């Protein structure tokens, strides 16, 4: 009976490892853009780590002056020098390029609320 569970768990671990090596990450945003299915805090964000910031790209960022609100979901409005102007819902912030964690691939609604209850 134990063998029946070992194979799917092994396959899942291999798939997770491949995604991590390819640069994909999963994070629980605390602030930022919301969708019709809820706020950023009630969702999980799948993103590609290390992508170059471009105008109009949806990104996940770290807010250095707001550690309780990091990470956050936003849209890049401008890139100039080493600074990026990011729209975070009704808020507009200027951050450095290093604070952009990566380009948003998908938002998984509702699972962030469960993760928040657990404390992650």
- CATH assignment of the domain containing 62: 2.10.109
Q: Is residue 79 part of a domain?
A: yes
Q: Is residue 120 part of a domain?
A: no
Residue 120 pLDDT greater than 60, yes or no: no
- How far apart are alpha carbons 109 and 49 in whole angstroms? 20
* Domain around 57: 24-107
**Mean pLDDT within 46-60:** 85
Provide the pLDDT confidence category of residue 36 given band limits of 50, 70 and 90: low
Among 24, 46, 43, which residue's Cα sits nearest to residue 34?
A: 43
Q: Which two tokens stand for residue 8?
A: 């799917």
Number of domains the chain is built from: 1
Q: Is residue 72 part of a domain?
A: yes
Q: Is residue 82 part of a domain?
A: yes
**Mean pLDDT within 13-35:** 81
Q: Is residue 115 part of a domain?
A: no
Which tens digit of pLDDT belongs to each residue from 55-70?
888 999 888 888 777 7
Q: DSSP class of residue 38?
A: B
Among 81, 73, 79, which residue's Cα sits nearest to residue 108?
A: 73
**Global pTM value:** 0.75
Q: Is residue 11 part of a domain?
A: no
Q: Is residue 38 part of a domain?
A: yes
Q: Is residue 37 part of a domain?
A: yes
User: 95 CB contacts (<8 Å, ≥6 apart)?
Assistant: 61, 62, 63, 64, 83, 84, 86
- Phi and psi dihedrals of 41, rounded to 5? -70, -25
């Amino acid at each position: 009976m134990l063998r029946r569970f070992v194979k799917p768990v092994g396959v899942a671990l291999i798939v997770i490892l491949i995604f991590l090596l390819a640069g994909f990450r999963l994070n629980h945003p605390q602030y930022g853009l919301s969708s019709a299915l809820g706020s950023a805090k009630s969702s999980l964000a799948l993103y590609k780590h290390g992508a170059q910031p471009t105008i109009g790209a949806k990104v996940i960022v770290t807010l250095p002056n707001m550690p309780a609100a990091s990470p956050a979901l936003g849209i890049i409005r401008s890139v100039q020098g080493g600074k990026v102007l990011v729209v975070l819902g009704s808020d507009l912030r200027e951050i450095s390029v290093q604070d952009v964690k990566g380009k948003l691939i998908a938002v998984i609604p509702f699972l962030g609320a469960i993760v928040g209850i657990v404390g992650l």
